[in-house]
Amino acid sequence: MTALRRRLLQQWFGRETGRLSLGSCLRPLAALYGILQGLDRRRRERLARTLPQPMAPVVVVGNFVVGGAGKTPTTIALVHALVQAGWRPGVVSRGYGRSTDAGMAVDADADPRQVGDEPLLIHHRTGVPVHVDRDRRRAALALLQSHPQVDVIVADDGLQHRQLRRDVEVVVFDERGLGNGRLLPAGPLRERPGAEPEPQMLVLYNHERASAAWPGAIASRRIGLAQPLDAWLRGRGEEVQPLSALRGRPLLALAGIAVPERFFAALEAAGLQIERLPLPDHHDYEGAPPWPEGTREIVTTEKDAVKLRRHAAGPTKSWVVGLDLALPADFTAALLGRLARATARNARQASKIP
């Protein structure tokens, strides 16, 4: 992480110091960004009304700040809740950091460089159809064409992608809330939220308490069990160990996620003795492994694990530990109620088409 990036993050999520702080100097650019962002949003919303849209109801998962706020774990938790309630969901995503913008289906053997690490993780954890495309609307139509049994679309990280019509928006906040409340680049906001949630929004905090002014449900975040990388990649519940089994052993913890400290803190809270190795979000593991030669054991996230297949047979023992979300019952009930109403509304509209 460069010194400028560290300073910028401190301005966004810490406290500004000095009369001529970096955030203050960037306010004119933030004002320009706000104007352009508002114009682009209205353009995309108008475009959405003219383009073919999926007939299945759409749940968009997103946030207002740049970087991770727990959208992918939220998407996985939503898919599991929908399956348990009898729905047949599919997931669409841009697939951040892909080497191509071409739309494609995600399967178990997909190259994370082509489909993205997060879509591959979602498919691995849920088993539901996943389709990636820079245009989420196009991805949703392609997914429904290839999987007609799908009756609800979940869009991972699509809050600002207005070309896709949505019935429900799940807005995710982590402990950072809205940061300093300023738009990019003076602050972390992709867009400025209103004084209260819009009618189609459900607000979810994946922290122990609300970190913004909006009322919302509190999801509980919990660390999972440890599993050897090769067994995890096979998708089998083999050799799973409680984290307590790793206590007292020298472990190198690596995390190429937006907020690595969240993962490290959870491991230490479970009693593990770790050396921390934070990596850039969406780190590419195609070259030599980033851990020092001679490292005996590492523990890493599921998002990193999907990119570590080529290192699974190496001399270093790799453990995969997930961070999961448990959705509150009232939140799930509200989501299912809205989807039922959206399905009925779509059926009425379809019956009017000659």
| Structural domains of the chain ordered from first start | 11-218+327-351 (3.40.50), 222-324 (no CATH)
Q: What is the pLDDT of residues 221-249, one digit of tens each?
A: 889 899 999 999 998 788 999 999 999 99
When pLDDT is averaged across residues 296-302 and rounded to a whole number, the result is: 97
Locate 177 and state its tokens. 């809330």
Q: What is the pTM of this model?
A: 0.93
- 317-338 pLDDT, tens per residue? 999 999 889 999 999 999 999 9
Residues 6+ apart with CB under 8 A from 11: 21, 22, 23, 180, 186, 187
Backbone φ and ψ for 133, nearest 5 degrees, come out as -170, 145
Question: For residue 201, what pLDDT is reported?
Answer: 98
Residue 146, token pair as written in the block? 């290839």
Stretch 37-60: mean pLDDT? 94
Angle (deg, nearest 10), helices 117-126 and 71-84: 30
